[in-house]
Amino acid sequence: MVSRVQGNGNGKGGAKLLDYPGLVSTSGDLNTVVDLAGRYLYCSAASEDMFGWGPDNLIGRCEDDLVHPDDVPTLRAGRSARALLKPVTSSYRFRCKDSSYRWVEATSRRVTIGAGDVVVNTVRDITQRQKHTAALELRATTDPLTGVANRTVLMDRLHQGLRRLGRSQGILAVLYLDLDHFKVINDSLGHRIGDDVLLKIAERLMHHLRPADTLARLGGDEFVLVAEGVTDEAAAITLANRIIEDGRKPFYLDGEEFSCTMSIGVACTADGQRNGVELLSEADLALYRAKDKGRDRVAVFDEELRTTAVERMVTERMLRRALDEDRIVVEYQPMVDIRSGYPLGAEALVRIREPDDGLRLPASFLGVAEETGLLIPIDEVVLADAVKQAGAWRARLGANFGGVAVNVTARHLADIDFRQAIVDHLKANSVPPSDLQVEVTEQVLMEASNSAMTGLRSLRALGVKIGLDDFGTGYSSLAYLREFPLDFVKIDKSFIDGLVTDQRDRAVVSAIIVVAHALDLTVVAEGVELASQREVLIDLGCDRAQGFLYAASGAPERVDSLVLPQADIHLPHPGIHRPQPDLRLPQADIHLPQPSVRMEL
């Protein structure tokens, strides 16, 4: 300890020499002594290294004048608390000689010396610590890419906004935004451009915020805007439409022009007792409605969607019970050689057995299963059953049966564990990879990530056959047939229905068959129900068919009953193979438009 602490007597305020034995530390920290008004009586030499101010610059001045204006109340409150004669620690920003500020932490205590009291301070620089703390706080509360709020802050602001509803006019609106087909940008131009697009969109969204509003990014291309004090639902819809119009305006990145459409779901409430999580979920449901109706539009949550949400919850519970109670059923529908009618394989189709022994068809639950993640365990059951059944058929029928097809999603393809599960099931059941056919839809291909496409290619390299299911129901791009690793294509039932009576459907089917065969792909017609449809398909050169004309889906024994009576028929190996087709077209000339490439989000 230093036994003598001095003011320098430089004439400021009539300062004189003062003795403060044992009060000031000899550590490398800055040591100061101030009177109860905050005027410096003593300052150690460390002040010059720390702030650029030498002791002579500080003695006689008031410390309040050198602290950031926002932090002066903190400093004064600390001085008042020192009357308790206990050490007090406070943090504030101190102004340096170059006018910059540094964060300091001061530990102070009030000491009585003779007839007067002084405050003794030990001050240390914590600027780097504060920067680190601020960085951690920023990371915990903001989206690292765009700088807008994250989910944690969003939910806090949403709950606060709901509590304020009873004390302010208007309603609270939640706008759930999603960029249309954003994945195309990431996959085609890379994540750097994708990130730049997100930054641009976040910047545009910020222009629509009022002081009380909150914008957050939940991840990927999803943003949420919480607007307080909105007049009514119509005003919220107007705001959403302005955002969509703004998003359509072109912008440039690296010399390329982009325009970005959005889908927005809106949920509003005037009830301060509402739950923020439920309100966000309602906006999310409205967003899905906007997407289902064609994207690039606004949809509002209403009672119809509320009913849908309840039904979704009931379906989810049903699925979980079905999984727990082993009520997932796999039926099989044969795929036949269209000329001979001989079964060349079967498609595995999932059903759920109801407690009353009825069967629930997938159209009533697949959407919910995919949204909730329950499709993964369901498909694991289907895959295991399908490969096991393929092994049983191969053991009994040998080359007379060509294997089983299963449907998979983009999530499955991107999952390394799912791909490995396929390999394990094939080995466990002694099934060659060529006896397994994996079917994906156009939507799956459009949404597939790079890892999903890697998974698809790795399965094909293994020998698994890859098919494009429901062709014609999505974007129907012939580029899919050329660019993706495919072995066969299945024409959707909607085209087969009009094949006999609608010349346009016949022309489309004919064109698909011609292009597919030119790319060495086998063609399967789905939903064939009439003999007249079969005859037209044979004339057009189709290879295989599937539908009620041949057999409905059912237990494996139904396929056995179709195959066994014909087991002595001599046919080529029933793998993905086709005879030379008759490629006659129903019209003399069919002109397909020259494809063009246009980048749209």
Return d(Cα 382, Cα 378) in angstroms, integer: 6
Show which of 131, 165, 182 is a domain's final residue: 131
Same-domain check for residues 396 and 333: yes
Contacts of 532 (CB under 8 A, 6+ apart): 500
Evaluate whether residue 78 is within a structural domain.
Answer: yes
Evaluate whether residue 4 is within a structural domain.
Answer: no
Evaluate whether residue 265 is within a structural domain.
Answer: yes
Same-domain check for residues 38 and 170: no
Same-domain check for residues 382 and 477: yes
Q: Is the dihedral of CA 417, 419, 423, 426 positive or negative?
A: positive
22 by Cβ neighbours in 10 Å (0-12 / 13-18 / 19+) ranks as: exposed
Evaluate whether residue 165 is within a structural domain.
Answer: yes
Q: Which of the four pLDDT bands, split at 50, 70 and 90, describes residue 6?
A: very low
Same-domain check for residues 495 and 452: yes
Q: Which of the four pLDDT bands, split at 50, 70 and 90, describes residue 585?
A: very low
Quick: pLDDT tens for 460-503. 999 999 999 988 765 556 666 777 889 999 999 999 999 999 99
Q: Which of the four pLDDT bands, split at 50, 70 and 90, describes residue 87?
A: confident
Beta bridge partners of 522: 488
CATH of the domain at 286: 3.30.70.270
Same-domain check for residues 156 and 294: yes
Flag whether pLDDT at 601 surpasses 70.
no
Contacts of 84 (CB under 8 A, 6+ apart): none
CATH of the domain at 89: 3.30.450.20
Evaluate whether residue 390 is within a structural domain.
Answer: yes
| Domain of residue 45, residue span | 12-131
Same-domain check for residues 246 and 283: yes
Flag whether pLDDT at 12 surpasses 50.
no
Q: Which of 10-14, 191-195, 556-560 has the lowest mean pLDDT?
A: 10-14
Flag whether pLDDT at 44 surpasses 50.
yes
The reported pLDDT for the residue numbered 449 is 65
Segment 567-582 mean pLDDT: 44
Q: Which of 410, 400, 392, 422 is nearest to 332 (CA)?
A: 392
Q: How many domains does the chain have?
A: 3
The reported pLDDT for the residue numbered 188 is 72
Q: Which of 209-218, 326-335, 454-463 has the lowest mean pLDDT?
A: 454-463
The reported pLDDT for the residue numbered 55 is 92
Return d(Cα 79, Cα 73) in angstroms, integer: 10
The reported pLDDT for the residue numbered 24 is 55
Percent of the chain scored above 70 by pLDDT? 86
Same-domain check for residues 166 and 190: yes
Same-domain check for residues 36 and 151: no
Q: Which of the four pLDDT bands, split at 50, 70 and 90, describes residue 582?
A: very low
Evaluate whether residue 293 is within a structural domain.
Answer: yes
Show which of 256, 285, 301 is a domain's final residue: 301
Instruction: Transcribe 368-402 into DSSP letters.
Output: HHHHHTTHHHHHHHHHHHHHHHHHHHHHHHGGG--
In the DSSP assignment, the letter for residue 477 is -
Q: Which of the four pLDDT bands, split at 50, 70 and 90, describes residue 564?
A: low
Flag whether pLDDT at 577 surpasses 70.
no
The CA–CA distances, whole Å, from 221 to 58, 204, 215, 291, 367 equal 54, 14, 13, 14, 21
Quick: pLDDT tens for 230-262. 999 999 999 999 999 998 888 888 878 888 899
Flag whether pLDDT at 8 surpasses 90.
no
The reported pLDDT for the residue numbered 7 is 39
Segment 344-372 mean pLDDT: 90
Contacts of 168 (CB under 8 A, 6+ apart): 228, 229
Same-domain check for residues 236 and 98: no
The reported pLDDT for the residue numbered 590 is 34
Q: Which of 334-343, 485-494, 500-509, 592-601 has the lowest mean pLDDT?
A: 592-601
Show which of 131, 157, 185 is a domain's final residue: 131
Average pLDDT, the chain: 84
Evaluate whether residue 321 is within a structural domain.
Answer: no
Same-domain check for residues 165 and 74: no
Q: Which of the four pLDDT bands, split at 50, 70 and 90, describes residue 25?
A: low
Same-domain check for residues 34 and 168: no
Same-domain check for residues 178 and 71: no
Q: Which two tokens stand for residue 320?
A: 């979980």
Evaluate whether residue 7 is within a structural domain.
Answer: no
Helix (H) or strand (E) holding 407: strand 404-407
* pTM: predicted TM-score of the whole model, two decimal places: 0.59
State the CB neighbour count (10 A cutoff) for residue 39. Answer: 20
The CA–CA distances, whole Å, from 453 to 31, 313, 339 equal 66, 32, 34
